[in-house]
Structure 1
Amino acid sequence: MENERPTANHDTSGVSRRTLLGATGLAVAATGLSLGPSGPALGASAKRRVAVLGGGMAGLAAAHELAERGFSVTVYERKELGGKARSIPVDGTAGPGHRDLPGEHGFRFFPGFYHHVPDSMSRIPFAGNANGVKDNLVNTILSDSWFYRANGRADGTLFGAIPHPAGAFTPGGLQRILVQEILKHKMVRPLEAAFFVTKLVAFFTSSDERRLGQWEKVPWWDFVQADRFSTEYQTVLARGLTKSLVAAKAETASTRTIGNMAEAFIYNIMGRGNDGALDRVLNGPTTEVWIDPWVTYLRSIGVQFRVGQSVEALETSGGSISSARVRDTAGNVTNVEADWFVCAMPAEKARELWSNDVLSLDPSLEGMNELVVDWMNGIQFFLRDSADIGSGHATFIDSPWALTGLTQAQFWREDFAKTYGDGTAVDCLSVDVSNWDTPGILYGKPANRCTAEEVKNEVWAQIKAHVEDNGENVLPDGILHSWFLDPAIKWNPATGTNSNDEPLLINTVGSWDLRPEARTAIPNLFLAGDYVKTDIDLATMEGANESGRAATNAILDAADSNAERATMYKLYDPPEFKALKKIDAQRYKRGLRNLFQGGA
């Protein structure tokens, strides 16, 4: 445990264990899980105390890997464990024998190309589950996930499983398949579909050198030449992926990042390189079926938690971090000493710690000041009756606020009405709002200038404009029981604007060079978070988990430990394209275009 001054430091996590069989040891015995490396970090020096500053996805992943390797870990978190992934119970909504209605920052989903997160889940005991928390993942029906259109446009399902017969993984074969899939939806003209897919093929066959040296510096909007084509092309193809999935703006998002995600999703749908099903969600509120069991397991292997502790500064001495200054909710200040520090706070919070003294030891950290964060926050609509918007995710593609949603009760293991609220709400339509800067359809204001009530009314109206365009009364009057907006959104009546305490990192053009590695130039400071350079290269739970493992491995290296390194996964790279990528690396070095880029 870290040395702390003063010693008064209260644990206010209040972690629920209702989802487990008593003590974790009983759950381990019941599941027969292998819990990964344990015991002392063999070959390590006596420096084993780690302070993890931040208890979100990255911090918990780092604590998990380090504690299983014998380090003494304490996690400091200012709000709630689980970070943006946590559930947020709606206080005061529980009837007798019920739990509060389950709010959240936004709905969670786990595509098949996630590997780090499912691996961690499989090592978290859960009563009755042979594979731990991983068995709490359930499959959506991808073929019943919908692109909803407004203003009379035709709706369409998202891609189902794309076939990949012999020859699919040639440039021509892949192009034919993807053009056919796009044209099924009748959203864009054949010429536009063919052009867009040609750009995808050019990216997919680009070498890593070109992706980093060229495409990282090109906005996605320019890469797909959106200005040349129709409004439908711009809405569906150029902006669809960037807005709805990663809250990025196509005009400023890095082609390298968006292209990597397009590639990952397409290979996922083709069943290449997947961890499991194409698309999965949890079978209950995130905190109940994942975070609480995780924290309980981490406690059982020695991790300590200090919740309600805000990290204010890092003190330096002798070229290293000597302590972290934290303040609790009562205003008490503690100086935390440790052998190793893992800063697992979000980018916008972490960079507040980079004092002149810290920057003098690692000047590269100053680049983080130029990283861009944007808003992607959720609102939940609790319903008195079921709403048929599909057995998977719904994308409301013409919504000015870039809405996506999911009705959750169909996937949850417990009866919603019998478990949550006052018994009259039967489902939760959880919606992510990914564009807070564009005027809406009711008030003519962007979401960041709307009150909570106005945000609710706007989102509801934009969804109804999509799902009821054909005359169906999918969301009739009276179906809305109540609603809950992410409390990170705070309204200021004096300025008429909202603030956001939990924004999301956006991969803008050229941002890769501004992002740090997990290991800094300061010998005992390591970084974990969705802004750290990772293979997945996106602000996701998967990226956060990957960064926590990278920080762990960096500490093991610094400690000269011979303990087994945390497993690191990479996105799928089809062997059929390796030769083309090798050719492209040579062409890029000579200043030539990708073979499939054409003259555009």
Structure 2
Amino acid sequence: MPDQLPKKSASIDRRTALRGAFAGAAILAAGQATAAAGPARHRTPGLRTGGKEVAIFGGGMAGLSAAHELAERGFRVTVYEPAYLGGKARSLGVPGTGTGGRADLPGEHGFRFFPGCYQNIPDTMRRIPFPGNPDGVLDNLIRVEGTVAGFRDRPPIVAPVEIAGLDQLTPQNLQNSIVSAFGFIPELPPHELAFFGKQMLMWFTSSTERRFGQWEYLTWEQIMRADGKSAAYRAYLVNALTRITVAAKPHLSSARTIGTIGEALVLAGTGLIPQFSGGVDRILNRPTNAAWIDPWVDYLRSRGVQFVMGQRASRLSCAGGRIDSVTVTDAHGTATSVVADHYICAMPVEKTVPLLNDRILAADPHLAGMRELLTDWMVGIQFYLRRPTEIPEGHIAALGSPWALTALRQAPMWVGDFAGQYGDGSVQECFSVDISDWDTPGILHGRPAKQCTAAEIAAEVWAQLKVWLNTGTGWLRDEDIHSWHLDPGISWSGGTTHNETPLLVNTVGSYDHRPYAHCAIPNLFFGGDHVRSHIDLATMESANESGRSAANAIIDAADDPAPHAPVFPLVALPAFEAAKKLDADRFRAGLPHILDI
């Protein structure tokens, strides 16, 4: 019997077709360059100081990006941040580990990587000065050439991260390249790999109307038709690729979201897209704060941006249909009122939702959708080793590991002598690992990460890495471990594990609940990876784009003549346009995609 999708996707009812056609037409009419910008421009009435004073609440990627664009256009910007500038993108030293004049060992929320499909982030980085770099901190990115794929109790495989041999981007060439790229996966039936390639081609040739009207309301597991497939297909192509890339669950995540980032990564891997320069993958050549965040903050200060630390937005006061003040509170509970012309909530969604009081929701009911958004965990741990491993440089994916582990050897790709710069002089390697699945039992303790202590998490992660990477290699040795460092956002209280820094997960239909960068309240704006964007994923890129969109909305609200900050769309291939047009006609007629058979 042929594979079948659930009835909802096998036939498209008129309501779905009309909804998708309306959504797609609206996006196309707005133009891709402004698709994430939202409704028509607003102008804020009754500006207090000529419309140039902006208060930003949250000094993470979105807040800093908005501050950057506004400061360069002459706005007076103050950023209020309760903890750390840089948010989840920052790095931090492990307190008390540096001796003899060396810096503390470098820790972080999770290792940074910069796919070639990112365009907004590189544009920002290029405009941040860095000594000796013609293109500012952008020159601190270095290209990653390969990746290590680990399998349980099998020798790992070293594979290139880029797709070789393509000289023209046609549907057939791209499908063949996708099939070839994943041919290394063990025990994967060839006909299932071919089916995967066909489903990816279906995504590439799906119209905007279908993407928003059908794929948004199906899971990635459904569009890949995982039911009835082999264990290898489900474990590697459906689950592992989703978990390690975006920390998303394939049985919950919107197929449109996963397809969007998958398409962008594939196109970056071809090397044929001028806008996606720099290869599939890049990393920083030193700790994130040293390479990027600290120079960024210094630059913003030089442009007049003020930073008020230790202050968290605790209340939005709405009167007369606009925000008239915001209350900020410090760690001791002392409250202060902030008054400005424009206010940007650049906090994570779980911190923003409690501020949406009845008056705000009455002014813009759509904002209530943020309460429906789901977050999940993706947190990093670093192992400090006395000897370098022999793992090839590049990203490491333990495919099919219970905790969906990915890793990176950082020391070999950083400038300078690691042991001479950090710690007590005996640490030669910083092995940084991201834990993307906190809900699946592990192999050592038989419990999910959320039910483990910090020491148990470290032991479990190391055990899984050895099973997935050591067969035939002996790369990881227990005796090499000097120490480890788990992200400090993880804490324990009353037997419950808490994560201070969860990530947004794009579940089925969640696009409907996500806000634009501005809303019906004319001087209230939003930044963060939960704001609608082109990349549409919890990434630095989407947060940066949201900051740009918020800045542009303020420029409009202030009726300021300054040019907009560029917001870069994803690439649409001309070779696929005819197929997409055909699919748009089929979708409006209530017919499935021509490959959806």
Normalising by structure 2, we get a TM-score of 0.90
Query: Helix, strand or coil: the match of 1:389?
Result: coil
Aligned residue identity for 2:543: A
* Whole-angstrom CA distance in 1 between matches of 2:314 and 2:300: 25
**Residue 504 of structure 2 corresponds to which residue in structure 1?**
505
Quick check: 2:90–2:293 contact (8 Å CA) kept in 1? yes
Q: Could you say what secondary structure the match of 1:62 adopts?
A: helix
Q: CA deviation at 1:161?
A: 3.1
Contact kept, 8 Å, 2:406 with 2:435, in 1: the verdict is yes
Supply the AA of the counterpart residue of 1:191. Answer: H
1:286 match: 288
Whole-Å Cα distance in 1 between the matches of residues 80 and 380 of structure 2? 25
Letter aligned with residue 434 of structure 2:
D
Q: Offset of 1:478 from its aligned partner?
A: 1.6
Q: Which moved more, 1:210-219 or 1:585-594?
A: 585-594
Alpha-carbon separation, structure 2, partners of 1:184 and 1:152:
12
Counterpart code for 1:582 = K
Match of 2:447 in 1: 445
Residue 185 to residue 439, structure 1, CA distance change in 2 (3 Å): closer
Instruction: Find the aligned partners of 1:226 and 1:320 in 2 and give their Cα distance.
Output: 48
Report the Cα offset of residue 261 of structure 1. 1.1
Letter in structure 2 aligned against 1:147: A
Query: Which residue does the alignment assign to 2:245?
Result: 245
**1:187–1:236 contact (8 Å) kept in structure 2:** no
Residue 217 of structure 1: CA displacement?
Answer: 0.2
8 Å contact from structure 2 (residues 342, 523) kept in 1: yes
Contact 1:44–1:560 under 8 Å retained in 2: no
- CA–CA distance in 2 between the matches of 1:253 and 1:512? 11
Shift of 1:582: 1.2
- Once the two structures are superposed, residues 189-224 of structure 1 have per-residue CA deviations (whole angstroms, 9 ceiling, x without a partner) of 110001111110001000111000000000110110
Aligned to 1:8: none
Give, in angstroms, the shift of residue 150 of structure 1: 1.0
Q: Is 2:102–2:423's contact at 8 Å kept on the other side of the alignment?
A: yes
Q: Give the Cα separation in 2 of the matches to 1:111 and 1:481.
A: 31
Residue type at the aligned position of 1:247: A
Structure-1 residue corresponding to 2:210:
210
Matching of residue 50 in structure 1 with residue 18 in structure 2: no
1:153/1:189 CA distance change after superposition, 3 Å: farther
| Identity across the alignment (%) | 50
Separation in structure 1 between the aligned mates of residue 570 and residue 380 of structure 2, nearest angstrom: 28
Contact 1:100 1:420 in 2 (8 A): yes
1: CA distance, partners of 2:332 / 2:184: 59
Q: Structure 1 427/153 Cα, relative in aligned 2: closer, same or farther at 3 Å?
A: closer
Distance 1:576 1:172 in 2: 11
CA-CA distance at 1:476 after TM superposition: 1.7
Tell me the SS of whatever aligns to 1:422.
Answer: coil
SS in 2 for 1:302: coil
The aligned counterpart of 1:40 is none
**Number of residues of Structure 1 aligned to a counterpart in Structure 2:** 549
5+ long unaligned stretches in structure 1: 1-42
Q: How many Å separate the matches in 2 of 1:140 and 1:234?
A: 27
Q: Secondary structure at the match of 2:234?
A: helix
| DSSP-derived class of the 2:474 partner | coil
Instruction: Indicate which of 404, 407, 410 corresponds to 1:408.
Output: 410
- Whole-angstrom distance in 2 between the partners of 1:413 and 1:154: 28
- Secondary structure of 2:478's partner? coil
Alignment of 1:150-549 (within 5 A): 150-152=152-154, 155-166=157-168, 169-273=169-273, 274-470=276-472, 472-492=473-493, 495-549=494-548
Q: Does 241-250 or 273-282 show the bigger shift?
A: 273-282
- Which deviations, in whole Å up to 9, do the C-alpha atoms of 1:531-578 show, x marking residues without a partner? 000011011000000000000111111111110100110111111101
Report deviation, 1:44: 12
Tell me which residue corresponds to 1:37: none
What is the alpha-carbon distance in structure 2 between the residues aligned to residue 265 and residue 356 of structure 1?
Answer: 41
How does the TM-score come out when normalised to structure 1?
Answer: 0.90
Deviation at 1:591, TM superposition (A): 0.9
1:361 deviates by 1.2
Residue in 2 that maps onto 1:61 = 65
Does structure 1 retain, via aligned residues, the 8 Å contact 2:155–2:470?
no
Deviation at 1:334, TM superposition (A): 0.6
Equivalent-residue separation in structure 1 for 2:184 and 2:477 (angstroms):
30
Deviation sequence 1:261-320 (CA, Å, 0-9, x none): 111111111013313232110011001110000000000010000111111110112111
SS of 1:322's equivalent?
A: strand
- Match of 1:522, SS? coil
How far apart are the structure 1 equivalents of 2:140 and 2:315? 38
Structure 1 counterpart of 2:135, which letter? N
Question: How big is the shift at 1:414?
Answer: 2.2
Is this contact kept in 1: 2:271–2:277, CA < 8 A? no
The 8 Å contact of residues 163 and 177 in structure 2, kept in 1 or not, is answered as no
Pairwise CA distance, 1:505? 0.1
Encode CA deviations 1:501-542: one digit per residue, 9 max, x unaligned.
Answer: 100000000000000100111010000100000011011000
How many Å separate the matches in 2 of 1:305 and 1:410?
A: 34
Give SS of 2:332's match: coil
Contact 2:163–2:181 (CA under 8 A) maintained in structure 1: no
C-alpha RMSD over aligned residues = 1.5
Equivalent pair of 1:44/1:561 in contact (CA under 8 Å)? no
For the residue of structure 1 that corresponds to 2:142, the secondary structure is strand
Q: Which amino acid aligns with 2:336?
A: T
Could you say if the C-alpha distance between residues 44 and 561 of structure 1 is closer, same or farther in structure 2, counting changes exceeding 3 Å? farther
Q: Greater shift after overlay, 533-542 or 273-282?
A: 273-282
Deviation at residue 357 of structure 1 after TM alignment:
1.6
CA deviation after TM superposition for structure 1 residue 331, in Å? 2.9
Q: AA paired with 2:495?
A: G
Instruction: Report the Cα offset of residue 156 of structure 1.
Output: 4.7
Using a 3 Å threshold, how does the CA distance of structure 1 residues 391 and 337 change in structure 2: closer, same or farther?
same
SS in structure 2 at match of 1:380: strand
In the alignment, is the contact (CA less than 8 A) between 1:45 and 1:560 conserved in 2? no
In the alignment, which residue of structure 2 is the partner of 1:112?
Answer: 116
Report if the CA contact (8 A) 1:64-1:298 is conserved: yes
C-alpha displacement of 1:53: 0.5
Distance across 1 between alignment mates of 2:486 and 2:184: 36
**Does structure 2 retain, via aligned residues, the 8 Å contact 1:452–1:491?**
no
Alignment partners' CA distance in 2, 1:257 and 1:181: 21
Moved >6 Å (runs of 4+): none
Per-residue displacement from partner, 1:356-387 (whole Å, max 9, x unpaired)? 12111111111110100000000000110101
Q: Which residue pairs with 2:5 in the alignment?
A: none
Counterpart of 2:464, as a letter, is: Q
Matches of 1:416 and 1:205, distance apart in 2: 47
Q: In 2, Cα distance between the equivalents of 1:281 and 1:320?
A: 42
1:113 partner SS: coil
Q: CA deviation at 1:57?
A: 0.2
For 1:281 and 1:317, the matched residues in 2 are separated by 46
Give the stretch that moved more between structures: 588-597 or 108-117: 588-597
Q: Answer yes or no: is the 8 Å Cα contact 2:207–2:580 preserved in 1.
A: yes
Comparing 66-75 with 181-190, greater Cα deviation is found at 181-190
The answer (yes or no) to whether the contact 2:514–2:532 under 8 Å persists in 1 is yes
TM-superposed CA distance for 1:467, in Å, is: 1.3
Structure 2 letter corresponding to 1:398: G
Alignment match, 2:136: 132
Cα displacement (A) at 1:77 = 0.6
Q: Which stretch of the first structure deviates more once superposed, 176-185 or 64-73? A: 176-185
- Could you tell me which amino acid in structure 1 is paired with residue 383 of structure 2? F
Q: Report the equivalent of 2:15.
A: none
Please give the alpha-carbon distance, in whole angstroms, between the structure 2 residues aligned to 1:594 and 1:459: 42
